[in-house]
Chains A and B, each alone.
Chain A
Amino acid sequence: MSAVPGDLKYTKDHEWIRIESDGAIAIGITDHAQHQLGELVFVELPEPGRSLREGEPCAVVESVKAASDVYAPVAGTVIAVNTALAGEPNLVNASPYDTGWLLRLQPQPGALAGLLDASAYQQLVDAAD
């Protein structure tokens, strides 16, 4: 069983989004996604300051098995990336919703409307299993 925390938003591409008190968002991949990928050995993250369109590939996660793109769930500007992943990519496996976060974005106004809530994402995962 994959964990799907109720306080996060999600995308159909198995990313999670945490809306923070300052209006910025943190982004990572879900427990289901890390489990499907297997043990991560490399994470490539965007440069802070970069502007992203919704759906644009913005990070790469490589596991022992394969490489996967991570897509910007919403349009916005990169304000921080998780530099700890350069040395410890397996933080994404061990703690996908916490220390395994990928990047923080300052989203464009109104960009968050199309995201899935936890129950909608849970249904999507259940259908995939």
Chain B
Amino acid sequence: MVPFGGWDMPLHYGSQLDEHHTVRRDAGMFDVSHMTVVDIAGAGAGAYLRHLLANDVARLASGQALYSCMLNERGGVVDDLIVYRRGADAATPYRLVVNAATRDKDLRWLAAQAAGQSVTLAPRPDLVLLALQGPKARALAAALLPQALREPAAALRPFHAVEDGTVFVAGTGYTGEDGFEVMIPATDAVRWWEALRAAGFAPCGLGARDTLRLEAGMNLYGQDMDEDSSPLVSGLAWTVAWEPADRDFVGRQALERERAAGPAARLAGLLLAAGGGVMRRGQRVVTAAGEGIITSGGFGPTLNRSVALARVPAAAQGVCQVDIRGALRPARLVRPPFARQGRVLVVDGN
């Protein structure tokens, strides 16, 4: 068990490596109830979110989800989150899921931005969030869902959600595999966990969650981006909705200046040559265009090779070196993801 964002969480339930492979090949479950769920209602909810978020909730139809950053005025990332546009009969029109480590800061920021607007914010500590991930997750989970959700969940596309009564099922995740994220009342959580386990889901801890998301090329807030780095230098430019040009979102002016000047850096993937060891956060990256730094690194079990995300000079490309404990080891800049859907996606050029 390790402390994480005010929670005690299991790093693994026995073998972090086995848990990683189970999610790539079979079905694993993560208790991610540490994530902060906030329901948003009120006549001004849509306008509030269009100002709060760098991505645009106007793109969402009912039952759709969007990944977005919320920025400060400098264009730095306050947090990254998923926003769900709920169905017409849901209790609130929007649901946000933000990080655990940033909970207090986020709730203060959400409240401050809501000042004077017709918006109500309702944190939902009464909900438990279970991530059911892996190629077999969808089929194994379907039988355990309420009857009304079985068919829609079986057909659920990525970044869509369905709900019935107290059960909310989303086609989202943080592993690069198919699956669901399920929100249920905390009072039902143990029953669900035991039923899922009996159905064949292997419990998985924070360790596998981190290596799965790293291989899938997904950022971790506080490592790969923070309040001093913008989406443009964090591999997240694709999440910024520049159009319509007259939508005024927090951080837009700073971001437009950075875009016009050309971002000085970018977040790249790094693949270490065989036999080089393991890349870790904070290690120096030496490229022909200047030096960079690893923001997330580790061993990628699917690749059987060390992979990393690194902030490097914008012009850096191709072969480079990583300073691993004083020795410069050959590596190569690649475009993430490294692995998704059970498959390795980068070619080994070494």
Contacts and interface: CB of A to CB of B under 8 A. Distances in A.
Contacts of B298: 64
Given A62-B299, A64-B298, A67-B325, A44 B277 contact: yes
B325 A64 contact: no
A54 interface: no
Interface string B1-31: 0000000000000011100000000000000
B133 interface: no
A41 B299 contact: yes
A70 to B, nearest CB: 13
Interface string A45-68: 000000000000000101011110
B299 A64 contact: yes
A38 B277 CA distance: 16
A42 B325 contact: no
A60 B299 contact: no
Contact of B325 (A38, A39, A60): A60
A39 B277 contact: no
B278 A62 contact: yes
A39 B15 contact: yes
Nearest to A86: B275
Q: Using C-beta atoms within 8 Å of the partner chain, give the interface range for chain A.
A: 10 to 19
B311 interface: no
B277 A64 contact: no
A64 B280 contact: no
Interface in B228-279: 275, 277-278
B207 interface: yes
B211 interface: yes
Contact of B16 (A39, A42, A66): A39
Nearest to A39: B17
B16 A67 contact: no
Interface string A85-101: 01000100000000000
Contacts of B275: 86
Nearest to B274: A86
Given A64-B211, A65-B207, 5 more contacts: A38-B16, A41-B301, A44-B277, A64-B17, A64-B298
Interface of A: 38-39, 41-42, 44, 60, 62, 64-67, 86, 90
Which 3 pairs between the two chains have the least Cβ-Cβ distance? A41-B299, A62-B278, A64-B16
16 contacts: A41-B278, A41-B299, A42-B278, A42-B299, A60-B277, A60-B325, A62-B277, A64-B16, A64-B17, A64-B211, A65-B207, A67-B277, A67-B278, A67-B280, A67-B325, A86-B275
